[in-house]
Structure 1
């Protein structure tokens, strides 16, 4: 199968391209600015916000996987309007190019909680992108993962960066709301085989899967695991959410500060599955990699 992986040089993309190439697929990574690819993977340059730049790369493909995304953890350069430009409009361009080229299969990486009327620009744009996918004439599958971790990912480093924003240079860690926000982290090497199977098996066409890891962890528990793995002491103290809101709103107005009001709002709702759909891929959640095991093996 000829597969174009949009965002193929990114964190998840690099793992997926390698897995697809190892499975004897003909793989091309689409990237806005080039980059390195695993052995056996071609690269094409194109920006999903510019239809003309990607149409040629889509031509001749059997399937397209859309992994292009901005991080929900940080406010993007250009403001939150970029979420709509990248996630909704970018997805629309990929779908239009795929339909024009006669591509049959389309895999969309969305996010837990994706909702056109959601509380953050990221969640709204992801929800609107899902609607565009469902309205297409392609054989589509949508994945909604919780946070994805692994070598090269940003989730672990985010917890340390968050401390640097609120309490630089001191052994105290004021976590917004005491770190009660819950996540269900999934390891990238557990997620990728499911993406591959969705490409190869017709039974996944027209399905939307909520995917999480083997355990639910609060932000406080994640932070404890990260600092314990590095054998560093840190004292976590609750930062009341109203103060966090004021802090992020004020600091978010400073050019270059990476967080803002949307990130405050994202910390007010959990990032967990209602029913973990890993079972649709014959996977027992107890077999998945825990965050603690990953950190302990680094």
Structure 2
């Protein structure tokens, strides 16, 4: 099996590639000039926004793990170009060069509506207002209607492997005015690899799957964990289910997180 990974230089992609290569999987990485991929990955120069450059990268692959995305920017146009137009380019190139390949796309649990009456479920109707989740939902819909063999992993709050993501929560709390009692479904990098391997087996074909661990964490708990100044509030929590995803489908399909909680990650020195 030969796998092409887009977004392989990012926080998620670089860690996933290391695990795939370590497991003996032959991996290619789509990479822009001047960027480096983890050791053992075959680099193929290209850009998700350049459809022609994807042809060589896709030749002979049996699967694509599509992680390329843009999130941490105020440039809404750039978010939509990378997340939606980039996915369209990948779909078109895959149809031409590797029509039998399985495409596994990473998406986000932030897609679900803020006023959901329960943790987000994969079949919920969603209409996200922020550009990042809205663009990812649009990209999901393009892939679902592509006629290709697809699966979509809606990831919880990704953390671990010293990626600095937990440490960003105090800044995000201030930026988005999160209530300290707000809770987010979590997923460790190690278990993204577990989920991707399960998807590569075909267990998730044609499905959207919430990919989360066993225990959501509150903003307060994360802030305390990273040693930042604590923000407290006794005000009622509006939108109590925003940021939380129902992981039951993933469990039914065979997904078992190896890092079940953030507290386990702490014990294992895996933050």
Q: TM class, shorter-chain normalised?
A: 0.7 to 0.9
Q: In the alignment, does 2:14 pair up with 1:4?
A: no
Q: Deviation at 1:160?
A: 4.3
Q: In the alignment, does 2:73 pair up with 1:75?
A: yes
Q: Aligned partners of 1:186 and 1:55: how far apart in 2?
A: 32
Tell me which residue corresponds to 2:259: 288
Distance 1:128 1:140, change over 3 A: same
Q: Aligned partners of 1:215 and 1:152: how far apart in 2?
A: 20
Give me the CA root mean square deviation: 2.7
- Judge conservation of contact 1:178–1:239 (CA < 8 Å) in 2: no
Q: Aligned partners of 1:177 and 1:40: how far apart in 2?
A: 41
- Judge conservation of contact 1:16–1:196 (CA < 8 Å) in 2: no
Q: Deviation at 1:217?
A: 1.5
What SS does the aligned partner of 1:109 have? strand
Q: Aligned partners of 2:54 and 2:235: how far apart in 1?
A: 46
Gaps of 5+ in 1: 167-174, 242-266
Tell me which residue corresponds to 1:129: 139
Q: Deviation at 1:289?
A: 3.8
Structure-to-structure mapping, 1:241-260, within 5 angstroms? none
Q: Aligned partners of 1:84 and 1:211: how far apart in 2?
A: 23
Q: In the alignment, does 2:90 pair up with 1:90?
A: no
Max Rg structure: 1
Tell me which residue corresponds to 2:180: 179
* TM-score, length-scaled by structure 2: 0.82
Q: Aligned partners of 2:162 and 2:50: how far apart in 1?
A: 27
Q: Deviation at 1:281?
A: 4.8
Tell me which residue corresponds to 2:122: none
Distance 1:9 1:152, change over 3 A: farther
Q: In the alignment, does 2:194 pair up with 1:196?
A: no
Structure-to-structure mapping, 1:101-180, within 5 angstroms? 101-103=97-99, 104-114=101-111, 117-162=127-172, 176-180=177-181
What SS does the aligned partner of 1:43 have? strand
Q: Alpha-carbon deviations, 1:87-128, whole Å to 9, x = none? A: 111011011111110242111101114377311111110110
What SS does the aligned partner of 1:213 have? coil
- Judge conservation of contact 2:224–2:230 (CA < 8 Å) in 1: no
Q: Deviation at 1:208?
A: 1.0
Q: Deviation at 1:237?
A: 4.1
Q: Aligned partners of 2:60 and 2:6: how far apart in 1?
A: 15
- Judge conservation of contact 2:259–2:265 (CA < 8 Å) in 1: no
What SS does the aligned partner of 1:110 have? strand
Tell me which residue corresponds to 1:226: 226
What is the number of equivalent residue pairs in this alignment?
A: 253
Q: Aligned partners of 1:152 and 1:86: how far apart in 2?
A: 26
Q: Aligned partners of 1:124 and 1:177: how far apart in 2?
A: 20
